[in-house]
Each structure stands twice: as structure tokens, then as C-alpha cells.
Amino acid sequence: MAQIPDNHDRNTIVVKIEDEMRGAYLDYAMSVIVGRALPDVRDGLKPVHRRVLYAKYDRGNFYNKAYKKSARVVGDVIGKSPPHGDTAVYDTIVRLAQSFSMRYPLVDGQGNFGSIDGDSAAAMRYTEVRMAKVADEIMSDLDKETVDFGANYDDSLTEPRVMPSRIPNLLVNGSSGIAVGMATSIPPHNMTEIVDAAVALIDDPSIDTDGVLKFVKGPDFPTAGFAFGGQALRHAYRTGRGNVTMRGKAEIEAFKGDRERIIITELPYQVNKAKLIEKVADLVKEKRVEGISDLRDESDRTGMRIVIEIKKNENANVILNQLYKLTQLQDSYGIMLLAIHNGQPRIFNLRDMIWAFIEHRKDVVTRRTIYNLKKAEARAHILEGLKRAVENIDEVITLIKAAKGPDEARASLMGRFEFSDLQAQAILDLRLQRLTGLEREKIIEEYRLILKLIEELKTILGSEKLVYEVVRKELLEVREEYGDERRTTITIDEATDFEVEDLISDEDTLVSITHTGYIKRSDPREFKSQNRGGKGIRAVTT
């Protein structure tokens, strides 16, 4: 603490600037880490993603309802939540709708939402959105007290702190974000594989990461392509950090007789197609890649197709290796399995990340069962009163007819039959048609079924094993509904670094050495031996 001058205001606290800066920066850093840049391990969402989806849920913008203008959703988010800018919120919506960014898009967009060439989306006033069907699963049972709600920035509304999420969203859609002093980079995966791994973990919680990797082959990128498995990928999943090498899908085909061309139909994840083509063109201009005669983009609405025509007598395999080496046709994805867990950032291995989701689902199922039990018991209480009323219907009607008003009728029923206030009111609200024989049977049957339901719910709550069984059953339903075939091909070949020999065509060459020590390599096709008395074609040049 600094010395306070004699003439200083005694109500003022003097603080060292380095202490103030240190404390303020730590507060800022934690705010960015927990409240902005990193996803929650339970639902895989950052706060802005959660607010966008909740704004759609609150407005009823479901997958089976009409599209709403994007600007309406953006307005809802920035009006009810902390000060996100409208551009940031709309960019979030756009990314959630892009099939080349999300393995399972959470937003169903109508209009121009950008392209793999890096084209930006149309303005928010021109596009329309609604939730994708899979996003409905993220908010399933949100109205059944399954998660905690908290106040928004001005305490005028509440919003969920996490989503119930029936799908393992963090792993199937991945996430990336840069916080203060840390960053997350989680690749997308295949829904079927992640669910199978989760089911195996529920069946046998002792399974380690290597056991989980029997089900999860590796990342499954929305843009397909190839990913190299092997030890590097296994290390990343075991430790939570590492790299995976990606490669586009390229095939060599013959055309015009003896010529060849390279056809690229899939790209590594997050590679801009237009910039890739521009890079190839620059390499040809700079003569760093020789042997390409033509380059064009034939992509259309049916799929991607980049055509690279090779000059006659050039080796297409060598040129393809050069493109892998010098462009993003082969790229790497840094893996960092970092997410928020119990309010703190934590690096997970693959097994623990899946288990954290399972534990979240266990908590959600438990809370939902408790909610359903309360509702069932409240309904059973009413039905018990109605059942006793219809069994003594003549006396009940006489009591009601004799009463001077509703309050007296309620009091008479409560005094005579010991009904509760709720039961008595339900009897007074009973419609006359419910007094027919068939309707009375329905009341009795509903009471029987509700008692059976209460027994089942209590049984589930009394057994942790049964709670996990419900989680398992719902995961299998998710797999049945949304599981699909893997897009990215995983190859165990790890030879992704090219030797010099891989970039040079295997062909005959001619080496000339002069008597003064100069050496030159020449193409044999350009060399012609001179017969006696003949005239030379050209002299040797350096």
C-alpha cells in the first residue's frame, strides 16, 4: 500500500496500479473464458449459440413451423442478452446454417448463407431461418425443469445456463474459439460413432480412451476428404491435444488419349475453394509447379469439381504430390479438447468428454423424472377426488344444488367427503358430459394408469442403473433418427511428409559435362546426336 500524503482525502483508498491491473485483467480473462469464447462440455454451445437457439425456442421458430426473417431473431438476441453486436449474432446464425461448416447444422436457412468459396451471406433482412430438426433435440424437455435458468443482463428475463441436449453436440459438431491464454479446437465427428461409444461407456464405464477408439474412427468433417489416423491421432484423443492431417479427394484420370488430368471433388475442412484455385494458379505463374496446362472450376449445385489438366508427357502423380506439399489440398487440423466443466476450463481426453455428456444426460433424466412425478402425483390427487365424486354422484349433486354459492358448495364437499380444496374445485369444474357412464369409466381408467406411471417413475428414481438405461435408450433413438454414414475416409497411412523424390518425375535425363567443368541436365527429347559432316542444331547454353 502506498504512503498516503497528509493532505490526502482519508476516504480515498490508494491501490498500486500493478495490483489493480492484475485483478482487472484476471476478471476480464475469466469472463471471456467462461462467458464468451469456450463451449460447455455438456451441450457443446457457447453462450451466444445458446442465446440464438433459445431466442428461436422462445419465439416458436421450430423446424416444423414457418421460416422467420433472420433480423427478427437477431433483434431478439441483442434485445434480451448482453451486448452482442448484431453482426456477431448474425454471423453465428449463418455459421450454424452452413452445411460445409457444421456436420449437423442447427439452423435451417432459406436464402444465401455464403459458400465454400468464402462468399459472405446475404444481409439479415434478406434471409430467413428456423431451427433444424436436430436443434430441437438440443432443447428437448427444456420446459420440464431439467436445467437451471438464470437472469439475463438486466434481471428482466431468465435464460437457460445450459441446454438439456439429447445429442452429444460438442463432439458431433465440434467447436473452436480463442479465449485469453487458451484456445479450443474440437473437430466434428460422426453421430453414429459417438453414440455407439457413449452406449458402450454406459454398458461398461471402465472402458478407457483406447476402448472408445474402437467405435470412433476419427474426425468426420462435413466437407469429407481424407484424414490420417495412426499414432498421432490416437495421441491427440488420449491427451486432448495434437494434430490430424487432412487431405482433399483427388483422382487422376486419362483424357484425350495419352494425357491426364487431376479431378478434385472434396477439400479439407475449412479450406476456401476459391483461394485454393488462386494458389495453384500462382504456383504455375511462378513456375514452382510446372506441367499444368489448364485449371478450371466446374463445381455446380450437384457437387464440387476442380479440373487440373496436365501437359503431355508430364507425370500427374508428381504434380499432385507438389499440390499436396505446396497448397491446402493437404492441411492439418490442430486438436485441443478444451471445454468448460463445472464453471472452469478443462482439457479432456475423448473418453472423459463423452462421459461428461453422459453424466449431463443422467442429471437431465433425473430432473425430468422428478418433474413428471410431481405432475403425475398432482393429477392423481385430482383424479382420486373425481373418482370418489362419480362413485357418490347423487349425493355430490344434492350437496351442490343445496348450496347458495360456489364457496358454500366447495365447503360442503370438503366437509362431507374430506376433499382437498383442489379436489373440490375440480369437482365443481366438472362438465355434465363427464357424468355419463362412458366418461366415468374414463376417469377411473385414467386414475389407474396415472398410479401405474407414478410407480414406474419412483422405480426409475430409486435406481441409478435404470436412469442410465433411460439415457441409453434415448441415445439409441437419436442414433436411429440422425445417424448417418461417415463422410471423411480415415486412412492409417501416416506418410504425409513428402521426400524430394516424391516431387520429381521419374524419367530419363541426359547429363553433359564440359572439359572446363560445367555440368548440365537436359531432356533426352531435346538432344540429337550429330553425324559426321552434319550441322549442329544449337550450342550448349548455361
Per-residue pLDDT of the chain (542 residues; tens, 9 = 90+): 455 555 556 678 888 899 889 888 888 878 788 878 899 999 999 999 999 999 999 999 999 999 999 999 999 999 988 767 899 999 999 999 999 999 999 999 999 999 999 999 999 999 999 999 999 999 999 999 999 999 988 888 999 999 999 999 999 999 999 988 899 999 999 999 999 999 999 999 999 999 999 999 999 999 999 999 889 999 999 999 999 999 999 999 998 888 999 999 999 999 999 999 999 999 999 999 999 999 999 999 889 999 999 999 899 999 999 999 999 999 999 999 999 999 999 999 999 999 999 999 999 999 999 999 999 999 999 999 988 888 888 888 888 888 888 899 889 889 888 889 999 898 888 887 777 777 888 888 999 999 999 999 999 999 999 999 999 999 999 999 999 999 999 998 655 565 655 556 666 778 888 888 888 877 776 666 666 665 555 556 66
DSSP string, 436-489: SHHHHHHHHHHHHHHHHHHHHHHHHHT-HHHHHHHHHHHHHHHHHHH-----SE
User: Is 324 assigned a catalytic role?
Assistant: no
Helix, strand, or coil (residue 333):
strand
Cell of 345: 476450463
Q: Which amino acid, 321?
A: N
Report the alpha-carbon distance of residue 282 to residue 295 in Å, rounded.
11
Residues 6+ apart with CB under 8 A from 270: 101, 223, 333
pTM: 0.87
Q: Which amino acid, 424?
A: A
Q: Which one of 25, 126, 153, 518 is the catalytic residue?
A: 126
Which element (helix H / strand E) includes 293? strand 292-297
Only one residue has cell 446454417, namely 97
Q: Could you tell me if 264 and 247 are in contact, meaning their C-beta atoms sit under 8 angstroms apart?
A: no
Give per-residue burial for 463-476: e unless 16+ CB within 10 Å, then b. eeeebbebbbebbe
DSSP string, 151-173: E-TTSSSEEESS---SS-HHHHH
Q: Could you tell me if 218 and 359 are in contact, meaning their C-beta atoms sit under 8 angstroms apart?
A: no
Report the alpha-carbon distance of residue 7 to residue 505 in Å, rounded.
85
Task: Say what the pLDDT of residue 4 is.
Answer: 53
Residues 6+ apart with CB under 8 A from 204: 211
